[in-house]
Amino acid sequence: MTAPLLLWFRDDLRLADNAALNAATDAGAPVIPVFVLDEQPGLRPLGGAARWWLHGSLAALDENLRRCGSRLTLRRGSVEAVLPALAADSGARAVLWNRAYEPATRARDDKVASALHRNGIATQSFAGNALVEPDAMRTGAGGSFKVFGAFWKALRKPYRPGPPLPAPERMPDPKRWPASDRLEEWALRPGEPDWARGFAKWRPGEGGGIDRLARFIEHALPGYAINRNRPDLPGSSRLSPHLRFGEISPAQAWRAVEDAVARDAASDSDGEAFLRELGWREFCRHLLFHFPDLLSRPWRQEFERFPWRSDRPGLRAWQRGRTGYPIVDAGMRELWATGWMHNRVRMIVASFLTKHLLIDWRAGEAWFWDTLIDADPANNAANWQWVAGCGADAAPFFRIFNPVLQGERFDPEGEYVKRWVPELARLPAPDIHRPWNYDRLRPAGVILGKTYPEPIVDHAAARRRALEAYARVKG
DNA sequence: TGAAATGTTGGGGCG
DNA sequence: ACGCCCCAACATTTC
């Protein structure tokens, strides 16, 4: 009989529109789907919230595979060792996967391929979790894009997603299934205390992603260009964790939105606004590909000498949502409770950490990495650097968000703050965004420094301090 | 994918 | 009627 193929799942935990899976099932040989939890040193371990998501996503993938007469084999350890062993054990002749573009993962994957080849196992990889592979997109001069505008121009118009690959109905199964870890053994989800109780509304997995995409297009795509900035409204797609783990592909999202615009279910500008967000996601991946140190070093080199402050109490107040600035605290508490934060608010809290507190963006990046269910190496690092002013096409350093104005503008009724900072719920808008009007506080049951913190920094003073610090980098 | 400072304009109050 | 001031509203520039 034909030797089986190993289908190595990574950030592509879906059956539809999956190039490697499609090739494997087309080959007519038995297919053994496998996921390896690789916790070797050198690879950044997933954060807590992402591990929570991964558990659900793997469970969903296994369930979907079983509907096709297949199943997911789970293994833990160094992929370099695990896959050759599994191939030998199952008599597989080849391993197929979809490519990733993070430098550390690519280096690891090269080693995996070599290890397999040494053992006489063939490998084949396919375009992965991106719209366009980073090395396939160059400027006219052959370099990499440094500003989003030019990148987007080069991507938007020529880009034509290929036809979606169908999910298989049946998958050819091997005579004998290899042994698999039990997902629960991996303890990807917390025991007690269960800090993930508030994550319950999420539905990890391909089915959840497809539903989310459909609901987004129906309910939030009309008006998206405006409403995506409103954390008080259900105006964003919330597709980020599904895209992060490849439960849907960016091309699927792109096509679905283009189709919606084509049938007039959404305006052109709303559709463009969403595609642009996919474009930023793409830009981040390409940046990391071309600048492998993006996770740890400032993209703009002059920021190596930026005078970041060390401020443990400040960092902790920010992490816990106790800065005394309601829109910041609401965001940080939403993050902690749900594993997700609205994108507008991500910018506000990131600006606050790096500019009002002058804390190194890497501390914020690390916190997001641990607490976000959608934590993605490229997006996280590139966007933190963008806000901090040291990234590609970054906001100029003097673009310092005023948390009060941002709150008034994007949460005009204070509904978002009320939801996440309930101790301020009785303050009327717009005062809720600047809770230091003592005439209003008392009737609303707010005692600054007691029921809600005093602002840990004065906005005007912090702004001046940030401008001074940045002036030193500039000069 | 800002905010604050500074500049300009024009209406209204007033001597 | 006129000049003057004030200041809101808007535009521009500066950080």
Each residue of A56-100: pLDDT tens digit? Answer: 999 999 999 999 999 999 999 999 999 999 999 999 999 999 999
Whether residue A343 lies in the annotated active site: yes
Q: Which nucleotide is nearest to A470 (CA to C1')?
A: C15
Provide the 8-state DSSP code for A377.
H
- At residue A213, does pLDDT exceed 90? yes
- Confidence tier at A212 by pLDDT (50, 70, 90): very high
Domains along chain A? Answer: 5-128 (3.40.50.620), 130-162+206-290 (1.25.40.80), 301-474 (1.10.579.10)
A383 is written with which tokens?
Answer: 């966007």
A369-406 pLDDT tens trace: 999 999 999 999 999 999 999 999 998 888 999 999 99
- At residue A429, does pLDDT exceed 90? no
Residue-level pLDDT at A440: 84
Please spell the DSSP secondary structure of A12-54, one letter per residue.
---STT-HHHHHHHHT-S-EEEEEEE---TTSPPPPHHHHHHH
* Higher local confidence (pLDDT), A364 or A162: A364
A165-190 pLDDT tens trace: 999 999 999 999 999 999 999 999 99
Whether residue A308 lies in the annotated active site: yes
> Whole-number Å distance, CA A463 to C1' C11?
24
Cβ atoms of residues A462 and A352 within 8 Å: no
Strand B close to A347 by CB, under 7 A: yes
User: Which nucleotides of chain B does any protein CB come within 7 A of?
Assistant: 1-4
> Whole-number Å distance, CA A153 to C1' C6?
49
- At residue A472, does pLDDT exceed 90? no
Residue-level pLDDT at A439: 82
Cβ atoms of residues A83 and A227 within 8 Å: no
Strand C close to A464 by CB, under 7 A: no
Cβ atoms of residues A129 and A12 within 8 Å: yes
Whether residue A361 lies in the annotated active site: yes
* Higher local confidence (pLDDT), A30 or A437: A30
Cβ atoms of residues A249 and A294 within 8 Å: no
Say how far apart CA A232 and CA A419 lie, in whole Å: 9
Residues 246-285 of A with CB under 7 A from strand B: 276-277, 280
Strand B close to A400 by CB, under 7 A: yes
Please tell me which residue lies nearest to nucleotide B2, judged from CA to C1': A399
